[in-house]
Structure 1
Amino acid sequence: MKNCISVILGGGRGTRLFPLTKNRAKPAVPLGGKYRLIDVAISNCLHAGLEKIFVLTQFNSASLNRHIFRTYRFSEFSQGFIEILPAELSSDNTDWYQGTADAVRQNIKNFQFPSLENFVILGGDQLYRMDLRHLLRTHQRNGADISIAVIPVSAEKISRFGIVRIGQNKEIIDYREKPQAASSISDMVGDRSLLPEGMERPLPTPFYWASMGIYIMKKNVLEHLLLELKGDDFEKDIIPHALKNFQIYAFLFTGYWEDLGIISSFYRANLAMISNPAPINLYNNLTTVYTRHRHLPPSLAINTKIEGGLLAAGSKLINCNIKHSVVGIRCIIHSGAVIEDSILMGADYFDTEPKLTSPLDTYVPIGIGGGSIIRRAIIDKNVRMGQNVVIDNTNGVPHLDSDLYYIREGIIVIPKNTVIPDNFRIETHPDYIESQSPVTHS
């Protein structure tokens, strides 16, 4: 592993994860009450002994940079490091990153190490646990120029992925980028005889092997491809060309994996952590997900009913009901509140009530006000929600933009720092929405 470096791609604008990416990069989005998405990729690297890590960033990267700087410190006796490489303009690079391959191409000059043999290239917005040592050993055993981690997906999902056809020796012999119909790739249906022995995960019929966006590439092969080709994306431009000239093998991954690039998958993955057993085991010393160490008090729950919940440190739950929900750090929930099937990201700090300057001043503290009801929603950080507020998509509206909230795939999202006054109700009938008083963003 000492002859490898890891390159974690910080992602593009993250429009499909908006409004969670309104003011932050995708990998900086909070996850599971206390983590951030980038922690998953970095933790996988560290568990495998990959300690030379570069993170390529571009859009809204301030909070991501701050999190990495505050979280990951190596001993002075270690050669490990995590270095952030933001997009920059120079005499050689006159434009921002145009895609995944272009981001790596623009930083080739920063990856020159005497003993470097392989690049491990990862996305920063996925939830999974993979032993990257196994991936590297498989790559070396196959004598591969490029190895691509692949996962089985159903026909309904193929339009989101690059689909590969695999030979008997697990070499990749064909690749199609985001096919729109299963009928166009009838020759690429997955072969069950290639599946690992003893695999218990049920698979759809038919299934297809989809690229996870996780690669190992030989140094000389990667440099040749990036310098000789003008394409900006690995899966759209580089991989199809490389198939003609290089040995590319698949690494079959059959564990849990979720691409968190859209609101519905992000919502589903967070709530999946509440199940027992959960698809990602957070309670195992060997698979720890590392994150920033905070000096927070334990969570406090008084007269509170909890029917399945993930509770982060520093939260206070007073006389409320929590059902199948994630309660993030420093989350304050007041008396009579009901939280169901929701993700509360918590707060960046404990709130201190200011002095009121006049009798007309009103103050809404950070947290969930007494008597409020929240169902099937994502409440971003530092939201100030008043008393007797109702957040519930009762009419099942699939998509909506408003000044105070957004609906994506039927899930209500309250943006970071939003202030919602007392007695406000989200009624998803369009005529009612227009009559609502505005909500301010601090």
Structure 2
Amino acid sequence: MINNEVLSIILGGGQGSRLYPLTADRSKPAVPIAGKYRLVDIPISNCINSSIKRMYVLTQFNSASLNQHIKNTYHFSFFSSAFVDVLAAEQTMHSDKWFQGTADAVRQSMHHFLQNDFKYALILSGDQLYNMDLEDMIEKHKKSNAEISIATYPVSAKDATGFGLLKTDDENVITSFIEKPDSELLPDWTSEVSDDMKKEGRNYLASMGIYIFNRDLLIELMNNPDTIDFGKEIIPQSIHKHKTLSYQYEGYWTDIGTIESFFEANLGLTEDIPKFNLYDDNRVYTRARILPTSKISGTLLNKTVIADGCIIHAAKIEKSVIGIRSRIGENSTVLNTYMMGNDSYESLKNIEKNKIENLLGIGDRCYINNCIVDKNCRIGDDVKIEGGKHLKDTETESYLIKDGIVVIKKGATIDKGTIIK
């Protein structure tokens, strides 16, 4: 069975500086998405949907909230070997360094992996949005007697320079690989893709950073401490020595690496038929919260996703994702916004006792456009935020502007009457 043959290793990424301030006090896999999930729920759910139920998540920055989320979410039967464990970078007798790269993270954690019986190591990224049949990828790896498999994604010339590109033979065996080539080299790196991909001009095969390694080969490769990264070193050095298969994937996939890509991926969920479709049999699992239904009064809603437990009195919400326990006051307008919601409710008794002026959520008569509102924020009455390309990148104590997107920092207070435009 797949479950007994495969061990999944989910790479939590580095400091996540390009996703700052969302990663100011949480690791990249713990960043909330789609109003109720965390990024790490995506690779874990892909594994569970593919009958892979032994997983390690590797992280080293701000891992407390990730630990808490996984502890509270992924519970399997007492009679099952299934688990999801977080492995944070640790000092040992053999190493006192932080993870230096993707391969080094796996190398430093190998003593944990080898306590398990497995034939294949499936290595995934913790900051990608996709729905893939990983079981099919594993079966093709086994059938072809490959030693390494790489999930690949057809991309256009515009995007190709940002990825590791590869070429294959007629049997999908990888023959050459180049990491982030210059644009003048691209004519030599076109690959055979489906007719649908050709019509879209997606003629280059990019590595998705999803790998399968045979157990013995992974152990052998990890014995070389000089190689610290899979994409830059392990893969280029291995393709001519070990049979390496390309598994071509043409569904929705995006790398959540920047504030802009994170923002677009979340707002994309509001489309009539979103590219990343949460409304099918490929479930995304997350923490089971006992929350009331959302309550909406007098609000015009259009292309909007609303999570559980919200109290909304807004005038209008359009093309927005509203997260758990969100509160939006009367006569407010929210456009093109991802509001992550709150970790708890604010009781009326507490509000009166402490004379709280700025309540959790968005106040009355606000106008919010092109904005990310992180968890537990307090936006006072009559606040106007007009994000857009006209705004220069800047940072204050309570918010950051990046690529025209206004990001309200976690737990920040925006005083009533504030104008950002």
**TM superposition score normalised by structure 2:** 0.96
| Pairwise CA distance, 1:92 | 0.8
Task: Indicate yes or no: 2:371 matched with 1:369.
Answer: no
Aligned residue for 1:66, secondary structure, equals helix
Aligned residue for 1:273, secondary structure, equals helix
Q: Give, as a single letter, the amino acid of the residue that structure 2 aligns with 1:126.
A: Q
Task: Indicate yes or no: 2:258 matched with 1:256.
Answer: no
Superposition pairs for residues 298-317 of structure 1, below 5 Å? 298-317=293-312
What corresponds to 2:9 in structure 1?
Answer: 7
Superposition pairs for residues 400-439 of structure 1, below 5 Å? 400-427=394-421
| Pairwise CA distance, 1:40 | 0.5
Mapped partners of 1:316, 1:364: distance in 2: 16
Q: Decide which moves more: 110-119 or 68-77.
A: 110-119
Pairs aligned (count): 418
What corresponds to 2:188 in structure 1?
Answer: 187
Mapped partners of 1:355, 1:311: distance in 2: 25
Alignment CA distance shift 1:398-1:258 (3 Å): farther
Superposition pairs for residues 231-270 of structure 1, below 5 Å? 231-270=227-266
Q: Deviations over 1:164-211 (max 9, x none)?
A: 1122211111111122x321232111223xx2xxx7567543631111
Aligned residue for 1:6, secondary structure, equals strand
Q: CA RMSD in A?
A: 1.7
| Pairwise CA distance, 1:412 | 1.0
* Structure 1 unaligned blocks of 5 or more: 428-442
Mapped partners of 2:375, 2:151: distance in 1: 34
Q: Deviations over 1:262-296 (max 9, x none)?
A: 11111111111111211122122x31100000010
The 8 Å contact of residues 389 and 404 in structure 2, kept in 1 or not, is answered as no
Alignment CA distance shift 1:80-1:264 (3 Å): same
What corresponds to 2:205 in structure 1?
Answer: 209
The 8 Å contact of residues 299 and 313 in structure 1, kept in 2 or not, is answered as yes
Mapped partners of 1:72, 1:374: distance in 2: 35
What corresponds to 1:345 in structure 2?
Answer: 340
| Pairwise CA distance, 1:393 | 2.5
Q: Decide which moves more: 314-323 or 373-382.
A: 314-323
Superposition pairs for residues 252-331 of structure 1, below 5 Å? 252-284=248-280, 286-331=281-326
| Pairwise CA distance, 1:244 | 2.6
Alignment CA distance shift 1:355-1:239 (3 Å): closer
Mapped partners of 2:291, 2:24: distance in 1: 27
Superposition pairs for residues 36-47 of structure 1, below 5 Å? 36-47=38-49
Task: Indicate yes or no: 2:366 matched with 1:391.
Answer: no
Mapped partners of 1:206, 1:297: distance in 2: 45
| Pairwise CA distance, 1:377 | 0.8
Mapped partners of 1:393, 1:33: distance in 2: 20
Pick aligned residue for 2:34 from 32, 53, 64:
32
Q: Deviations over 1:132-189 (max 9, x none)?
A: 110001111221110000101112222321111122211111111122x321232111
Mapped partners of 1:357, 1:113: distance in 2: 54
Aligned residue for 2:413, secondary structure, equals strand
Q: Give, as a single letter, the amino acid of the residue that structure 2 aligns with 1:364.
A: N
| Pairwise CA distance, 1:228 | 2.7
Aligned residue for 2:188, secondary structure, equals helix
Mapped partners of 1:41, 1:61: distance in 2: 17
Task: Indicate yes or no: 2:116 matched with 1:121.
Answer: no
Mapped partners of 1:247, 1:138: distance in 2: 13
The 8 Å contact of residues 229 and 238 in structure 1, kept in 2 or not, is answered as no
What corresponds to 1:60 in structure 2?
Answer: 62
Q: Give, as a single letter, the amino acid of the residue that structure 1 aligns with 2:370.
A: R
Mapped partners of 1:244, 1:279: distance in 2: 36
Q: Deviations over 1:238-269 (max 9, x none)?
A: 11111231111100000000111111111111
Mapped partners of 1:288, 1:73: distance in 2: 16
Superposition pairs for residues 101-120 of structure 1, below 5 Å? 101-113=103-115, 115-120=117-122
Q: Deviations over 1:286-339 (max 9, x none)?
A: 311000000100001111100110000001111421001000000000001100
The 8 Å contact of residues 398 and 411 in structure 1, kept in 2 or not, is answered as no
Q: Decide which moves more: 368-377 or 403-412.
A: 403-412
Q: Give, as a single letter, the amino acid of the residue that structure 2 aligns with 1:171.
A: V
Alignment CA distance shift 1:290-1:203 (3 Å): farther
Mapped partners of 2:314, 2:102: distance in 1: 48
**TM superposition score normalised by structure 1:** 0.91
| Pairwise CA distance, 1:404 | 2.5
The 8 Å contact of residues 320 and 333 in structure 1, kept in 2 or not, is answered as no
The 8 Å contact of residues 389 and 403 in structure 2, kept in 1 or not, is answered as no
The 8 Å contact of residues 190 and 206 in structure 1, kept in 2 or not, is answered as no
| Pairwise CA distance, 1:237 | 1.2
What corresponds to 2:85 in structure 1?
Answer: 83
Mapped partners of 2:172, 2:258: distance in 1: 30
The 8 Å contact of residues 304 and 318 in structure 1, kept in 2 or not, is answered as yes
Mapped partners of 1:253, 1:355: distance in 2: 51
Q: Give, as a single letter, the amino acid of the residue that structure 1 aligns with 2:227.
A: G
What fraction of aligned residue pairs are identical, expressed as a percent? 39
The 8 Å contact of residues 27 and 124 in structure 1, kept in 2 or not, is answered as yes
Mapped partners of 1:320, 1:207: distance in 2: 46
What corresponds to 1:174 in structure 2?
Answer: 176
